[in-house]
Amino acid sequence: MGRASSVEQIPPDILEQLQALLRDPRVSQLDATAKINKVLEEQGHETVSKSAVNRYAQKMARVGQKLQEAREVSRMFIDRFGEDQTGEVGKLVNEMIRTLVFDITLKMQGETIDPDMAPELAKMVKNLSESMHKLEQAAATNTKREQEIKRLAAQQAADAAAKSMTRQGMSKDTVDAIKRDILGIAS
């Protein structure tokens, strides 16, 4: 397995500063490197090379691109299936997880993934699966709550309307028919 990047070995608070500098379009990589090296020197840490910062910036750009693609795919499916995360979207996510596991297995067989990483990758896929399961359960719970709130609101509206119509002298059959219409109940 490869050695960790010198950039990834700097303290987390300084790494965050570097990431902020790299995201700022007004700051060049050379300037970002100089500023971070100054901070590293002041705090008694080893400095990082321009090429290490460049490789790190390229890696972060690739990660950012992947995140952007994932957001676009997500947005596409939400547009297709709506905000309700249950049902079709849940099936889609499950299929995506299966595909991910399959891809990892193929890459391990093709030796493009270090076999020593297998336990960590398996753990990541397991955690992802568990997270998706919890999200789907939460979405189902929210959907049930929304439906119950709508049902209660409709019931209150129907009851209020029935009271008002009864006071105005409408027949019980007419009031019941209107109440069924409000509640969406077939006669």
At 1 the pLDDT is 46
The tens digit of pLDDT for each residue in 61-72 reads 887 777 677 667
> How many whole angstroms separate alpha carbon 173 and alpha carbon 61?
68
Count of domains for the chain? 1
- Across the range 112-121, mean pLDDT stands at 68
Among residues 129, 133, 127, which one has the least CA distance to residue 85?
A: 133
Query: Alpha-carbon Rg of the chain, whole angstroms?
Result: 29
Q: Would you say residue 52 has pLDDT above 90?
A: yes
Domain hosting 18: range is: 1-80
Q: Would you say residue 49 has pLDDT above 90?
A: yes
7 occurs within a structural domain: yes
At 131 the pLDDT is 73
Q: Would you say residue 122 has pLDDT above 90?
A: no
65 occurs within a structural domain: yes
30 occurs within a structural domain: yes
102 occurs within a structural domain: no
Give the percent of the chain with pLDDT over 70: 71
The DSSP secondary structure of 104-136, one letter per residue, reads: HHHHHHTTSS-GGGHHHHHHHHHHHHHHHHHHH
Quote the mean pLDDT of the chain: 79
The DSSP symbol for 113 reads S
Q: Would you say residue 4 has pLDDT above 80?
A: no
130 occurs within a structural domain: no
The tens digit of pLDDT for each residue in 54-96 reads 998 988 888 777 767 766 776 676 666 555 555 566 666 666 7
110 occurs within a structural domain: no
At 38 the pLDDT is 95
44 occurs within a structural domain: yes
185 occurs within a structural domain: no
Number of residues that make up the chain: 187
pLDDT band at 113, cuts 50/70/90?
low
* Number of Cβ atoms within 10 Å of the Cβ of 32: 23
